[in-house]
Amino acid sequence: MDYFSLVGIAVGLSMDALAASVANGTAVRKVTPGFALKVGLTFGIFQAFMPCLGWALGTAGADLLIHIEHWLALLLLTYLGTQMIWESCFGEHAAEARCHTVGKRALLIQAVATSIDALATGIILPSSVGIQSVPQMIFSVSLIGIITLVLCFAGVYLGRKFGCLLSGRAEIAGGIILILIGVKIFAEHLLSSA
């Protein structure tokens, strides 16, 4: 098994989740270790689970998802980013909305949207890093999840630092970051298929 490539894939897959975690950190008034752990665990679990699902779908021959995953990520992240910007600027309590907690629903949607590429990666993961058994696959997806958890945990704190610098515009910046992540995923897919 190629451990170096596996770590590279794990770090690469976690970058979208890291950026979303930074956006989440900008949106909250106070970051607690519990909140950062909740964000890290949510993203880590999805980043670990989705390659397993992709592996199962790839084994079953279902490659439809490869053709639509970039659209799903773009739509979900644009929706969340636009909602954050709208609430910050025009929400009922716009001044208070600039620093609030990130809800479970928003966090789950972010986790799904940022892990769709991990789902697609799961289809090719065994051949790309030389996985030859189920225990190796379990180790691989566990490593992906742990790396994502650690990076996202730190990303929330990094986002809070940016949020303090951005003051009242933190939630707008977070929304823009989510939209840009969606556009990036979409553009990467279009460029790789061209």
The per-residue pLDDT for range 7-54, each reduced to its tens digit, is 988 998 898 899 899 989 988 888 999 999 999 999 999 999 999 998
Tokens of 185: 């995923």
Q: Is the pLDDT of residue 124 over 90?
A: no
Q: Write the DSSP symbol of residue 130.
A: T
What pTM does this model have? 0.75
**pLDDT-derived band at 132, boundaries 50, 70, 90:** confident
Q: How many domains are there within the chain?
A: 1
pLDDT at res. 97: 45
Q: Is the CB of residue 73 less than 8 Å from the CB of residue 116?
A: yes
Q: What stretches of 61-169 show up as alpha helix (H) in DSSP?
A: 64-90, 94-97, 104-129, 134-166
3-state secondary structure of 37: helix
Output the CA–CA distances (angstroms, integers) from residue 135 to 7, 130, 139, 194, in the order listed: 17, 12, 6, 36
Task: Report the percent of the chain where pLDDT is more than 90.
Answer: 28
Domain that holds residue 92: 3-193
Which of the two residues, 64 and 160, has the higher pLDDT score?
A: 160
**pLDDT-derived band at 98, boundaries 50, 70, 90:** very low
- The chain-wide mean pLDDT, for the chain, equals 83
One-letter amino acid for residue 68 of the chain: I
pLDDT at res. 2: 81
